[in-house]
Structure 1
Amino acid sequence: MPTISSAPKGGRADGSAPAPPVAVLGECVADAFTVPADSTSGTGNGPDLPTLGLEVLPGGGPANTAVALARLGTPTRFLGRLSQDVFGRLFRAHLTASGVDLGAAVTTGRPATLAVADLDAEGRADYSFHAEGTADWQWTDEELATAAAAPMACLHTGSLALVRPPGSEAVERLLERARERATVSLDPNVRPLLVDPAVYRERLPRWCAAADILRLSDDDLGHLLPGLDPGAAADVFHGHGVRLVVVTLGGDGALASLDGERLRVPAPPVEVVDTVGAGDSFMAGLLHALHTGGALGGRLDGLTPGLLAEALATGAAVAAATCAARGANPPWKHQMGGQRRG
C-alpha cells in the first residue's frame, strides 16, 4: 500500500504558510445495516413474531468524505445541518473523534436522514431511504453564507444536498459565490430511488460551469450519460466548463481527464467486506493529495500530471482500505504507511 503524503506540521509540503482547510458541504445519514436474526420475539398473543436486527453506523457521502479527509491529516471543516436526535449525536461524536471541525455546522430540531442498507454477496449496498422533511435539505442562503464565511482552500459538495429541495438551489448559489475564492469540487453520487436522474442531467451543465473537479462513479455515469464510455463522457463535462473529471471504475481503478489529457490508475487488490463509502473515501484521498501538493485554492493552475497521478493513486489506496472495513470507516494516516514528506 502506498504511503500518504503529508505536509510538515502547520504548513504545506514546501514549507510555505498553511493552506486554508477543505470545507465539505452536505448530509449526514444514519446507515442501518440489516443483521440476520436467529430468534423470534414472543408476544404472548399467538405465534412468535419474526425479528430483523439493524446495526446503525454513521454515514452520508459528504460526511464520509469529511471524516476520511480529516483522518488523513487534512484540516477539514464540515458544513452540515445536524439533528439533535440520537442519530445527530452519533454523527457529532463520529465527526469530532475523526478530527473534523464542526464549528460551522447548523444545529436543527428536524430529524436525521436514515438509510437502510441491504448488502449483496459482493458487499454492494441496496438502500431504502427515509428522508422526507429531514435536517439535511433545509439550507437557506443566510445559513450557507454564515457557514461558508471562513477561509477555505476548497469547497467540496455533492450527493443529495445538490438536488433535494428546498435547500438545493441555495447550495447551487453558494457554489457560484465560493468559486471566487476557492476550488470547487463536486461528487453527484446519483440516488435514483430518491431523485429522478433527469434532475441531475438537467442541472449538471450548471454544476460543471461552477466546478473545477467532478468525480463520478461508473454507476453515476450510466444514469447521467448512458451509453458513453468514461473518456467520451469526460469530454462532454469539459465542454460544460469543468477542468478535471475523475471516473471511478470499482475494481478497474479510475480514469482522470485534465483538460482532455487522460490518466489511468489501477485499483489495489483488496479483500472486500463491503463497498460502502468507497467513492467518498476515494474523493478524500484525491483532495488530500491535491491540498498537500498546493494545487487547491484556485482553478487548478498548479496541477501537474505528476501530482494528479499521485492524487489518483492516493484516492485508490484510501478507497481500497475502506472496502476492507465494514461500513464507511476510512483509514487513518498511520494506517496508510506513514508519511512520505516532512
Structure 2
Amino acid sequence: MSLPLVTVLGECVADAFTMPATTPGELGLRVLPGGGPANTAVALARLGTPARFLARLSDDVFGRLFRGHLEASGVDLSAAVRAAEPSTLAVAELDAQGRAEYSFHAQGTADWQWTASELAATDLAHTACLHSGSLALVREPGDTAVEDFLARASATATISIDPNVRPLLVGLGVYRERLPRWCALADILRLSEDDLELLLPGFTIERACDAWHAAGVPLVVITRGERGAVASLDGERTAVPAPPTDVVDTVGAGDSFTAGLLHHLGAEGLLGGRLTDLRIDDVFDACDFAAQVAALTCGVVGPNPPWAGQLRLPVPTTARVARRMAGGTVG
C-alpha cells in the first residue's frame, strides 16, 4: 500500500564542518546539506514515505547543492519556492562526543522570507501530516505566515512541531512566548532534552510534559541521546532505549528520529486528524523504530539518514490486518 503524504515546511541550511587545513593559517570546511526540516524530509523520503518539502531554495551554489541532495533522496520539490535571496550557512565544530556547536550566517537569507501568498498556493488536500519547526517558525519576517499556515493545515492534517531551539539566532523569550500557541496547534511535539532545559530550566521531563499537555498537545516526545527517549501521550508515559551504536557525530539525529516516528505512525494508519486512535503501545513502537533510524544517522558523518534497506521497516496496517486474518505471524 502507499503511505500517506507528509508535508515538511522549513529551512535547508548549508552545514559547513570545520576540518584541519593542510596549509598553516587556513581553515578547511566540508559543506553538507542540512537544516532540521530538510533533514526530516530527506529521512522520510528515504524510508519510503511520500515527502513534500515546502522550502525557499536559493539559486546560489548552496541552493543547487540542496536541490540535488533532496531530489536524489526522493523528496518532492514541486511546491518549493525559487528564492532570490542567498542560502543560509551554518558553520559546525564537533566536540569529542560528536556534538556540534554552530555559528550561523543567516541575515536576510532565503529561508525566513515566507509570505502569506506563497503559502496560500499550497494544496493541503492530500497531506496527512504537516511537520514544521526549527528556525522558520521563529525568524522574521516569515514566522507569522508559517504559523498561520500551520493553523490552516490543522483543520485536516496531523500537525508535528520540533522547536529545535537555537538561542544564538533567536532569543529564548521568543520560543517561550510562542510554545503555548504551538502546543495548541500541534498533535505531536518532538524536542531534545537540551531544548527542554533551555525552554523550562529546572523542570523534570514529567512536569514539562504535563505543562505542554495542558497547553493542548496530546503527544510529547523528548529525545535524550544515548539514553533513548521518553514519550508522553496525554500523561501516559513510556521510555524507549537507544540502540547501541558507534557514534561518529550526532548531527541530524533528532531530525531522523522525527522522520522515523512519523513514518511509523503513517505506516500504521495513524496519521491524519487528531491522533484519536493512538495508544501508548503504538507510541512505544513508533519511538523504538525512530530510535533505530536516529542511531544509524549517528553512525555516519553529518545529517545523512539511512535508506529503507538499512533497517527493518514497519508493516503497513492493511498488510498487518491481512496477515492476522490469514493466521500469519505479525512482524
TM-score range, shorter chain: over 0.9
Is residue 249 of structure 2 the alignment partner of residue 274 of structure 1?
yes
Instruction: Tell me by how many angstroms 1:58 deviates.
Output: 0.2
| 3-state SS of paired residue (2:117) | helix
Query: Counterparts of 2:176 and 2:293 in 1: how far apart (Å)?
Result: 29
- SS of residue in 2 equivalent to 1:321: helix
Shift of 1:146: 1.1
Matched, 1:164 2:148: no
Q: 1:73 aligns with which of 28, 37, 48?
A: 48
The letter of the residue matching 1:325 is V
Match of 1:28 in 2: 12
Aligned residue in 1 for 2:23: 39
AA partner of residue 77 (structure 1): R
User: How many residues are treated as equivalent by the alignment?
Assistant: 317
- Change in CA separation of 1:338 and 1:171 when aligned onto 2, cut-off 3 Å: closer
Residue 229 of structure 1 deviates from its aligned partner by 1.0
Among residues 140, 148, 151, which one is paired with 1:173 in the alignment? Answer: 148
Distance 1:228 1:243 in 2: 19
Please give the per-residue CA displacement for 1:302-340, whole angstroms capped at 9, x wherever unaligned. Answer: 212222111000111100000000000000010113664
| Aligned residue type for 2:149 | L
Shift in Å, 1:273:
0.3
1:265 aligned onto 2:240: yes
Contact 2:229 2:287 in 1 (8 A): yes
| 1:291 is the counterpart of 2:275 | no
1:233 and 2:208 aligned: yes
**CA distance in structure 1 between the partners assigned to 2:39 and 2:314 by the alignment:** 22
- Map of 2:294 onto structure 1: 319
Query: Percent identical across equivalent pairs?
Result: 66
**For 1:136-185, what per-residue CA distance to the aligned partner results, in whole angstroms no more than 9, with x for missing partners?**
00001111111344520000000000100000011111111111010000
**Residue 302 of structure 1 pairs with residue 305 of structure 2:** no
Tell me the alpha carbon deviations over residues 235-286 of structure 1, each in whole angstroms, 9 at most, x when there is no partner.
0000100000000011110000001000110011100000000000000000
Match of 2:255, as an amino acid?
A: D
Q: Distance in 2 between matches of 1:27 and 1:174?
A: 15
Question: What whole-Å deviation, never above 9, does each CA across 1:79-129 have from its counterpart, x for those lacking one?
Answer: 000000010000000110001000000001100000000000110000000
* Match 1:107 to one of 71, 78, 82: 82
Which residue identity does 1:37 align to in structure 2?
A
Equivalent residue, structure 1, for 2:63: 88
Residues 34-93 of structure 1: CA distance to partner in whole angstroms, max 9, x if unpaired?
A: 0101323xxxxxxxxx11110000000000000000000001000000000010000000
Q: Is the 8 A contact 1:79 1:148 kept in 2?
A: no
In structure 2, runs of 5+ residues without a counterpart are 320-331
Between 1 and 2, higher relative CO (CA 8 Å, sep ≥ 6) is seen in 1
CA RMSD of aligned residues (A): 1.1
- Give me the whole-angstrom Cα distance separating, in 1, the residues matched to 2:313 and 2:129: 24
Q: Which whole-Å CA distance do the structure 2 matches of 1:60 and 1:313 have between them?
A: 24
In structure 2, the residue matched to 1:47 is none
Q: Is the 8 A contact 1:294 1:302 kept in 2?
A: no
Give distance in 2, aligned partners of 1:103 and 1:307. 32
Distance 1:268 1:261 in 2: 23
Q: Distance in 2 between matches of 1:68 and 1:287?
A: 10
Residue 212 of structure 1 corresponds to 187
Q: Give, in whole Å, the separation in 2 of the partners of 1:77 and 1:22.
A: 6
Question: What TM-score does the superposition give when structure 1 sets the normalisation length?
Answer: 0.91
Aligned ranges 1:105-144 → 2 under 5 Å: 105-144=80-119
* Aligned pair partner of 1:97 in 72, 75, 99: 72
User: Residue 289 of structure 1 aligns to a residue in which SS?
Assistant: helix
The separation in 1 between residues aligned to 2:313 and 2:23, in whole angstroms, is 45
Q: 1:339 to 1:208 in 2, by over 3 A?
A: closer
Secondary structure of 1:147's partner?
A: coil
Aligned partners of 1:110 and 1:198: how far apart in 2?
A: 27
Whether the 8 Å CA contact 1:105–1:147 is kept in 2: the answer is no
1:254 alignment partner in structure 2: 229
3-state SS of 1:153 partner: strand
